[in-house]
Structure formats: structure tokens, C-alpha cells
Amino acid sequence: MVRGMARALVLGGGMVGSAMAADLAADPAFEVTVADVRPDSLERLAASIDVQTIPADLSEPKTVSRLAADHDVVLGALASRLGLNTLRAVIEAGKPYADISFMAEDPLQLSELARERGVTAVVDCGVAPGMSNMTAGHAASRLDPCERIEIYVGGLPIVRRWPFQYKAPFAPADVLEEYTRPARVVEHGTVVVKEALSEVELLDFPGVGTLEAFNTDGLRSLVHTLDVPHMLEKTMRYPGHAEIMRVLRHVGFFSTEPVDVGGRPVVPLEVTSALLFPKWAFDDREEDVTVMRVTAVGKERGRRTRLVWDLLDRYDPGTNTRSMSRTTGFPCTIMARLLVQKRFDRPGVHPPEVVGREPGLLEHFLDELRRRGVHYDMRVEHPPEA
């Protein structure tokens, strides 16, 4: 479709949007525009990379549609609450869309609309959701049967400080949302709902040490798109974090139900956010690490097989880009290129497992990520028959 330069629009100039914009701006095939409501974020971006910037209130769908209409491909890196309306606005503008906005709603509800408009949109296209879905989708189509998929993922600061040993590499409100929303897992082919932060277990990761892993609602679309009888996703933190979060949740500090304080209703979560989020902010140039392990067990050509993808990625001091921004943003820019090149152009709203099932596409993502310093180590094991 596009000859010469493709015009890419990045919605959101935050940490991840900036990493996306920088990746595309370094590519002579792209001309990049970043839209954001915060002029200071845009100024900072324009000072360091070759992009155009547009100050715009992206909570207004008409604004999104109008901006999208001027571009060949759109990338979404917005707050989760803007995700669904923005997806709809881009579809209505008739433009291909790669998104990491991690909306709470089910984006596939707009798939029919996308098919009508002949638009291809790939959502949840970061690291997890994102590469986790892509590897899971690949494994589910490669193993026959695929019996079990387990995803363990965490984004962490390198320096551990009492009491949380944690900084939020994406919107901290979305982190607390992860700690409260019931977690869906699949057991014996049935969707089972578990409490978030439950079933804490300890795992060792070379180079990182012992981490704790607990249930969070991370499977998302995989619950419905893959026919695998056992699936779970767990979030990883340094040991001790989950217990503190469980206590705060127990007391009611994450509650959105107002309590009476001197005759006035106050939402506890808002007070907690005001107190907690500054403590969860990364310092300038503070290093982070992203750890992920996706394991799939089943049979390949009749032989019991375990496929394992391990990711261990760190802050890039050269570009001052956090690992979470790299590992989340690059899958989205790689996807955006595939959309522009029409290497994936099936109309509809698709989760990444659909992309991962296409022959050669997972390998393409892993190659492109490796070129950007994000290394997935993949291994094939043959455990004894169960």
C-alpha cells in the first residue's frame, strides 16, 4: 500500500509511547507524529528524537479519528481507560492499528465493526499481554495436543527498597487494578476464577534471584481463543510484596466504595493513590528489569515436549529507556510495520495469539526484538512422559 515513507501516528507520549516513537523515528521508512495532551511530554520528545508532535486531548474520540485519518498506521500507548474508545475511533477512521493500551473492556467486541470497515487492529500488543500471547498462540498450534501453558511475568526495579521493593513501570493505577480484579485461569478446560494476589509461590531466575509469583488476571483473550485445558498467568515481584498488597486490600485501601470521613464521602483508593504512587515512581535513570517465562507442555509429533521462552531484559542506559518501555513498545512497532507492509492484514480486532499462529511471524518478532537488544531465549525440552 505505502510506497516511500509511511506516516505513523503514536497516540500517547508517555514512557512506552516515547520508546515506540524513537524506534520508528530511527527507521527511514517512517515519518512519525506523536499526539499527547501533555505539552511538556511532547517538548521533551521533540528535543531528543525526530518526530512531529501534536498537543491533543485524546479522550475525545473525534480528535482521534481526525488525527488518524491523516496517517497510514496508528499505534496506541494510552491510559487503559482511554483504550476502547480510541480503538473504536481508529477503526472508524479506517486505519490499521497496533495497540498496547491494556483496556479493561474486551476489545474484541469491536471486531465486527473492524471487519465492516476492512480495518486490521492488533490489541494487547506489548510484552504481557503481547509476546506472551504470541508465544502461547504459537505453542498451541505447534503442539498437538497442547496441554498446559504457564506465563510468569514481572517488571521490577533493580534496586530493592523496603517495604515494596517495587516501582511501577506503567500506570500505577493499572497495577492496583491488577491486584484487585479476580484472576481467570483455566483448569481442566474450565475457566476458574481466583483471587488476585493468591497462590504465592517462589521461583528462581538466574541473574535476578528468587521472585514470588501470584495470580493476576493476565490471560485475558487467551482464556477464549486457545483450546488448552490448563493455562495460568502469574505476576512476579520480589518476595514479600504480595503480602503487603494483600494487607492493604484487606483493610480497604484499594476500595472504590466511599467511606465517611467527618461527614464527607472519601474514596479510599484515591487517598491510597495520592500516598502510594509517588513512592512507586522510578527515579530519573533508575534501572529496571523485565522477567518473563512462558512454558508450554504437550506433544510434538507424538513426543512429549516442553517449549520455554525466557526473557530477561534490562534498562538501556544509552537511550535512557526503561526495560518495560522497550519490551512493551517494540512488539507494537514491529506489529505496526507488519500492518503497513500488509504482511498481516486480516480485517478485525485481533489479539496477538492470532498473529503468533501465522507461520513465520513469531520468529520475525523474536528476530526484530533481538536486533533491538531484547532477547528471548527459546528452548525445546523433552521431559519424560507424565
* Contact pick of 130, 268, 351, 352 for a second copy (by CB under 8 A): 268
Asked if 205 interacts with a second copy (CB under 8 A), we say: no
* Contact pick of 29, 112, 252, 375 for a second copy (by CB under 8 A): 252
CA atoms within 13 A on the CB side of 11: 33
Q: Where are the alpha helices (DSSP H) in the chain?
A: 15-25, 39-48, 61-69, 83-92, 111-117, 131-142, 172-180, 222-225, 241-251, 268-276, 323-340, 352-356, 361-371
* Contact pick of 3, 40, 274, 379 for a second copy (by CB under 8 A): 274
* Contact pick of 251, 375, 380, 382 for a second copy (by CB under 8 A): 251
* Contact pick of 191, 267, 281, 380 for a second copy (by CB under 8 A): 267
Residue 36 near residue 53, CB atoms below 8 Å: yes
Amino acid 56 reads A
With contacts defined by CB under 8 A, how many residues of the chain interact with a second copy?
Answer: 26
Q: Which three cell numbers stand for residue 285?
A: 535513570
* β-strands 259-261, 97-99 pairing: unpaired
Contact flags string 156-195 toward a second copy, x per CB under 8 A: ------xx--------------------------------
* Contact pick of 158, 275, 281, 380 for a second copy (by CB under 8 A): 275
Task: Determine the Cα–Cα distance for residues 175 and 76; give it in Å rounded to an integer.
Answer: 19
Identify which range of 45-53, 118-126, 135-143, 250-258 contacts a second copy by CB under 8 A: 250-258
CB of 44 to a second copy, least distance (A): 25
Please state, in angstroms and as integers, the Cα–Cα distance from residue 329 to each residue in 22, 29, 192, 275, 321, following that order: 10, 18, 31, 29, 11
Nearer to a second copy, 3 or 162 (CB): 162
Q: What is the DSSP letter of 182?
A: P
Residues in contact with a second copy by CB under 8 A are: 162-163, 243-244, 246-247, 250-253, 255, 259-262, 264, 266-268, 270-272, 274-276, 279
